[in-house]
Chains A and B, each alone.
Chain A
Amino acid sequence: MLEVVIFYLSALIAIGGAVLMIAQRNPVASVLYLIVSLAAQAVLYIQLSALFVGALLIIVYAGAILVLFLFVIMLLNLRGEHFEGQDQKVGRITKYVLSGLFFIELVIIVRQLAIPARTDIVSAQTATDFGGVEPVAELLYTKYLFPFELTSVLLLVAVVGAVVMARREKSEKQGGV
């Protein structure tokens, strides 16, 4: 019973955070709502025994990535007034309808899925450390070693790319000085 309460509560918070995030004019508030939503999702992860990934979600996403967003927003000193301009009403409604349709389709698909039997969820057979750090690490360093190592390359490229992109042009710099 508690599980059900936790699930619906977290789900509600996750959805609410998401909706509020896109509804905000102020980007800082958006970031904060997204953090809320992610935190709720992390709860769901843990409920699904994905402890390690859930922790990562909080630490990496909320802790690092979204903070980076915040930094950028602060750096650019953005305000809501940057985004004036009115969409046409028809267009706006079309977009909502489209998204709604999309959601409905997803629901239909989920319903049509041959989902494995209920018993599979959190059953007694499940290893006690399912979703713990150790088993995930074992997978990462054995079966998925190569993709894992590739990730490092990806991150390196991303770092270099980010530096290059965000750097001021040389000429601009010299001109400034």
Chain B
Amino acid sequence: MNHSLYLIILLPLLGFLLNGLLLGRLKKGFVSFIACASVGLSFVWGVKVFFELLAMPEGARAIQETLFTWIPAGQFQVDFSLLFDPLSSVMVLVVAGVSFIIHIYSIGYMHDDPGFGRYFTYLNLFVFAMLTLVLADNYLLMFVGWEGVGLCSYLLIGFWFEKKSASDAGKKAFIVNRIGDFGFLIGLFIIFWQVGSLNYADVFARAPEVFAVGGGVITAATLLLFLGATGKSAQIPLFVWLPDAMEGPTPVSALIHAATMVTAGVYMIARSNVLFMMAPTTLAVVAIVGLATALMAATIALAQNDIKRVLAYSTISQLGYMFAACGVAAFAAGIFHLMTHAFFKALLFLGSGSVIHAMAGQQDMRYMGGLKKQQPATFVTFFIATLAIAGIPGFSGFFSKDEILWKSFSSDFGSPILWAVGLFTAILTAFYMFRLVYLTFYGEGRMDNHTKAHLHESPKVMTVPLMVLAVLSVIGGYVGIPHVLGGSNRFEQFLHPVMTGLHGGADTSEHVLTSAGHSAGTELTLMIGSVVLILIAIYMAYYLYLKNIDLAGRIRNNLSGVHALLHGKYFVDEIYGALIIRPLINGSLFLWKIIDVFVIDGIANGLASIVGDISTGVRPVQTGTMRTYATMILAGAVVLIGYFIIR
């Protein structure tokens, strides 16, 4: 059966080419039509193939399609081929769906921007790259998408290139990502030279024969892959680019830096679950790094005033959760959170975009407040998303986050400490998110009068996508209701065939990871306990930022050192600057001015001038007068003849 998978990536590519080649010659309406239609059709096609996939028997759910041979070099053969299995199907639907919604939103948000056409061109290219990433059936093609989304991220962060901070941020994002990609590449080399292929199917099938569980090679390979993931998904130590990435247009932040691209790392680890399962050390590293990132970003988010930066750190923090899930071998939970996060975080960003739009570009929450009245639709949807991210029961975030917390407690790789850190982070999350909501939508308006007069609700083209996402943020969690709440966790089951690392690929029907040894009672207790704590955190936010604002100020003053540390984002940028960037540039200047110009060129020129000096020394012999030359000739003759006589 021909599924024409390639259409899913071809359509956005066509949109990109059409808009890109005819840039500046098309009307805005036509540009946005091409862009949205191509992504929309791609989504529709994705849905169609998804149902075709569902129709297949559970164990054989995979559609593979080879387009052409890409790089043939000896034994190294990589095809341009696509794979549509449960994991990629989820990703395709999330990516294409959210992209489509954000495309629509962008029509309104970017309407007055002179770079309208360019914006949609880049956006379509991004969708193409992201879909290539998730549809690839081998690591190299995934890497294509991986770098492709990095490129689009670079272009879109620096979209307003006339602003130095924007182009700086774009460059930073690209370079930091490159550092991660470096790890990814080396990881691929190890895999290829051990396994002899980069195809998922081949790699996963042969990995158990080639690698020893817990062996040095597989640990190195997976750690390197994880380095790639930390770059793309903004984890410690490579998270520094994501907050700066907020320089891009807000829909871009929503699409690339919240919903899709940054989750590529999680997808990659889930995809490579076979490899990661064979390297327990790596799993531990992943879990620890993920939770550390989650905690650190959450604490930073407490002290930020820029609405988008709070959301950015929140994204980093939530990504940390996903990694924590992967780190405790709960890959499905990670992907589940990835999906729900895509919905509510995209919604949060788009909502903040709507706010910023109304505030005429103002992003500082200290100058907002009371927007509830002027922007009811934005407020309601934003509030729903906040409930979701905070983990209030009934909203999507609750199910996915709780799943992760439970797995980090109960899984073979989990531990109560991980759970405690995760819970603490969840409490912080609820606190800072409600701080954001209270500062922005409640209380008195703190903006100047001019702005106040212009406050308005955003147009339909922007609010409708918000509503759609709000609905998704609520219902998105119901595909994965845990057993303890009477559900069957269909999401995990659906992904189960892909998670061969968990069950050795042998059985596909039975649900193996049932958190053996832990009773349902424990699970329920922990769940209720965490909800209660989160509710307390929300109340504290309410008390500090709405009821008793002075107290918040006093606390800040008393803890000024801590606040400075958090507000300054632990000064990681400055540390990197002092430890890496400065020495690099100074070292390069040294190499250029001293080594290159002075030493190497100096040696070359020195040799030349030595020859020159010798020549100058000998030159007086050449007096220019004939008689001297004649004498020299005679002397030469005398010497030569003398030599022959004596010999």
Contacts and interface: CB of A to CB of B under 8 A. Distances in A.
Interface string A82-120: 000000000000110011011001101100100000000
Nearest to A94: B631
A94 B634 CA distance: 11
Nearest to A95: B631
B645 interface: yes
A109 B638 CA distance: 12
A135 B641 CA distance: 36
Contacts of B642: 101, 105
B637 interface: yes
B637 A102 contact: yes
Interface in B608-637: 631, 634-635, 637
Nearest to B641: A105
A98 B631 contact: yes
B645 A108 contact: yes
Contacts, number: 22
Contacts of A109: 641, 645
Nearest to A106: B641
Nearest to A91: B631
Nearest to B630: A95
Contacts of A101: 638, 642
A102 B635 CA distance: 8
A137 B532 CA distance: 135
Residues of A contacting B: mostly: helix
Interface of B is mostly: helix
B634 A98 contact: yes
A101 to B, nearest CB: 5
A98 B638 contact: yes
Contacts of B645: 105, 108-109, 112
Interface string A52-73: 0000000000000000000000
Contacts of B631: 94-95, 98
A14 to B, nearest CB: 21
Contacts of A105: 638, 641-642, 645
A99 B634 contact: yes
Nearest to A97: B638
Contacts of A108: 645
Q: Report which residue of A99, A101, A108, A109 has the largest number of chain B beta carbons within 10 angstroms of its beta carbon.
A: A101
Contacts of B635: 98
A119 to B, nearest CB: 28
Contacts of A98: 631, 634-635, 638
Nearest to B644: A109
A105 B645 CA distance: 8
A105 B637 CA distance: 10
Contacts of B637: 102
A148 B641 CA distance: 32
Nearest to B634: A98
A94 B642 CA distance: 17
A166 B642 CA distance: 41
A94 B641 CA distance: 18
A99 B634 CA distance: 8
Interface in B197-252: none
Nearest to A102: B638
A29 to B, nearest CB: 21
A109 B641 CA distance: 9
Contacts of B634: 98-99, 102
A94 B635 CA distance: 10
Nearest to A99: B634
Contacts of A102: 634, 637-638, 641
Contacts of B641: 102, 105-106, 109
Contacts of A95: 631
A105 B635 CA distance: 12
Contacts of B638: 98, 101-102, 105
Given A94-B631, A102-B641, 5 more contacts: A98-B635, A102-B634, A102-B637, A105-B641, A112-B645
Interface of B: 631, 634-635, 637-638, 641-642, 645
22 contacts: A94-B631, A95-B631, A98-B631, A98-B634, A98-B635, A98-B638, A99-B634, A101-B638, A101-B642, A102-B634, A102-B637, A102-B638, A102-B641, A105-B638, A105-B641, A105-B642, A105-B645, A106-B641, A108-B645, A109-B641, A109-B645, A112-B645
Per CB-CB distance, the 10 closest pairs between chain A and chain B, nearest first, are A105-B641, A102-B638, A101-B638, A98-B634, A108-B645, A98-B635, A98-B638, A95-B631, A105-B642, A105-B645
